[in-house]
Structures are given as C-alpha cells and as structure tokens.
Amino acid sequence: EDMIEAEQEEQALAVAASMVKLYGDDPDKASRQMKRSMYQRDLTAINDSFEKKLEGQRFNHEQVLRSKLAEKEKEKEKKELRE
C-alpha cells in the first residue's frame, strides 16, 4: 500500500505540473482540473476496493453454498440407500 500511495503522489505531482503548463494563466481553471483529477483518482481507488470486497464476499458465499449442497447430496444418497 505504501508503494501505491507513493505512486499516486507521484502521479498527482505530475498532473499538477502539467496543469500548471496547460492552465498557467488561469489558476482557477487549473485548480478545478486538479480537484477533478484527484476526485477521479479517489473514486477509482474506492471502486477498486469495493470490487475486491465484493469478490471476497462472493467467494465466501460460494464456499458456504458448496458445503451445503454437498451436505444435501449426502443426505439424498443416504435416503435413497434406505429405500
């Protein structure tokens, strides 16, 4: 995570430098663009985190369902053997 933060800071500095070049004569426009860029970066990080959590939950649910299904199959086989 430290590497990711360092990379994000480096990217933010690069974006800031390019914003100064592009909007040097209009600091308000540069500021708005920087805020938009930071918002997009943060939004991407939030989405990535959310997707990882959902994937973990999905995996856990699949494991539970598989074990329950296996248990039901065993019960069904036992019932068929009794008949």
Q: What is the pLDDT of residues 3-21, one digit of tens each?
A: 778 888 888 888 777 777 7
pLDDT tens digit sequence for 37-51? 889 989 999 999 999
Q: Model's pTM, two decimal places? A: 0.48
Give dist(CA 34, CA 36) in Å, integer.
5
Q: Which domain holds residue 15?
A: 2-82
| Cα–Cα nearest to 60, from 52, 72, 48 | 52
What's the angle, vertex CA 16, arms to CA 13 and CA 20, rounded to 5?
140
Q: Residues 18-73: pLDDT tens digits?
A: 777 776 667 787 778 778 888 998 999 999 999 999 999 999 999 999 999 999 99
Question: In this structure, are residues 41 and 71 in contact, taking their beta carbons and an 8 Å threshold?
Answer: no
Q: Which of 45, 41, 19 is nearest to 32 (CA)?
A: 19
DSSP codes, 31-44: HHHHHHHHHHHHHH
Number of domains in the chain: 1
